[in-house]
Structure 1
Amino acid sequence: FKFMIRKFNFKTPGREEDDVETKLYTKADVNARKAAAGEVQASDSEDPVSEAITRGLGGKKNISDVDCCATRLRCTVHDASRVNDSILKATGASGIVHKGNGVQVIYGPNVTVIKSNLEDYLEKAPDTYAEAEEAGEAKQEETENTETEKKVVKRIVISSPVTGKAADLGTAPDEAFAQRMMGDGAVVTPEEAFVYAPEDGEVAFVFDTKHAVGYMTDSGVSLLIHVGIDTVKLNGEGFEVLVENGQKVKKGQPMLKLDLDYLKANAPSLATPVLCTELGDDQRIRLLKEGPVKAGEPLFEVEVLN
């Protein structure tokens, strides 16, 4: 559990953001809520996370549809004003994106389990709206910026996994990536058909939809290479996987082959975020390349501060 929590940066109690406090729900809490509702079966008390997600989305009656991609719970609600971001963040979400009545809750690669549990919970949950909860606004205390006083004691270079055009991650045509909700790094728009290993390391996982690769470098940097925007909807079309989960690879070894013509015709964008998903408080990203870049050339570096 410790390995998974640190690898995917799950926001467990004590590891949440400074301005967020994780509420722990006991069986007594859930049973008390059930007793008030009078409609929920006893088994629901075993899933307080799904109960909290349902409340955060405004209650079962406010939820129209539940789906997910590789890292996000994608929900459609009837009334967006009923959504409570604070409750959703307390369930371990690293960010929330609102698009009209669409709500994307960023959980990371474990989102498929969260979606499955939520669907099971909703089958038995009371068909009501959640009671409005007033979340007190946390006062942001002014703190001195000590980062400028720290020195860079180590630099870890990460090379581009594709040949194309490099840019700052903030330019990504997707709010969750651009706001660095899933990690920091850079974005590269591929112009050639292969995705290569950026450094010596190991393939942590390849998503079933083939559009994204989790990668751990030998230097200890955890990366997510996400080819294109909303490419999860292509269900693997346009991608050929050349490696396996757990496979050790060398820098420059092909991992994916892309059908660029198909992807250009069917994906909103080919912009490919290359993310460090487990940056510590003493680490930061410095972009090394903007504009044309070849696979294997330095893209950004991880600066370790002290």
Structure 2
Amino acid sequence: MSASLFLLPALLLAAAAATSKTVVESLAVAPGCQASCGGVDIPYPFGIGSGCFRKGFEIDCINNGPVLAGTTLQVVYLSVDPAESLVMLPVAWQCYNASSPGEAEDYSNGETAGMKKDGVYRISSTHNMLVVLGCNTFGFTASAGNFKGCMSYCNSSGSAEDGMCAGVGCCHVDIPPGLTDSYFRFWAYDHSAMMDYSPCDYVFLVDRTNYTFRRSDLLMDRNRTSPVRLDWAIRNNDAMSGAVLSCSDAAKSTTDPEYACISDHSECVDSINGPGYSCSCSDGYEGNPYLVNGCTRFWPSSTMPPSTVRRRWTTKTI
């Protein structure tokens, strides 16, 4: 695979690092919990280790790198507000053999079932697209009852052009909201005339601003992953306490002990991708609304806070 797909998470982090934001570091995580892993901040409700995360938001720190607990999915970035994250998802593929170019010899469907275990995450339909690569292939997602895909075709090794993804060697399509995991399928077509330049077909999700097709991608490494943005939300569907799947539900509930927006000066925000809600600090405040006293007064750069407050603040690059 070309570097266009593999190196972009580093570019995204570099862009984020270019902006300095004043935050209250001591309030970013639950007391006594690990604040980062492999250079990635782990703000509550995410957390590493017992007592440090909300159910469904556990992160494992493996070989000095964060992954979604129970999966092998690498975490690149976690955000409290907006409620989103960036992870690396597998590429699905099917490959042909020269002796039987009309039948797929081997394949991987790119499934990420572990990601939907607790229902926290949804694949962002706003930020991501589905991409199909190949010279005689139709690839599609078959996740959660949704069917979405496109056809890519080539008539020679020189047909596909760098930077072009409009059906010749590469096609892309928007995805529907509500996807909880990635699972892909292909229709098999004869590859006998293209085994030297397109022996495999590929389909993957990717952040739509962070992929540019290169003809060399038709021969990419099958083990590569792609950066994908996830929306997340608090989705309490416990039958014992009753479903709390929106701010309205949370406001009416008298039995839910897990209401997430616990800081003073915090507000409930309905999810934009599926049921559930997230939390945000009120206007004039910033920090972590999921922790007691997590939202603190925002001081514009032109205004210095009193010295008694300034000692609690640090400037952190995120």
Higher-helix-fraction structure: 1
Between structure 1 and structure 2, the one with the greater Rg is 2
Question: TM-score by structure 1 length?
Answer: 0.27
Q: Work out which structure has the larger RCO, using CA pairs closer than 8 Å and 6 or more positions apart in sequence.
A: 2
Question: TM-score by structure 2 length?
Answer: 0.26
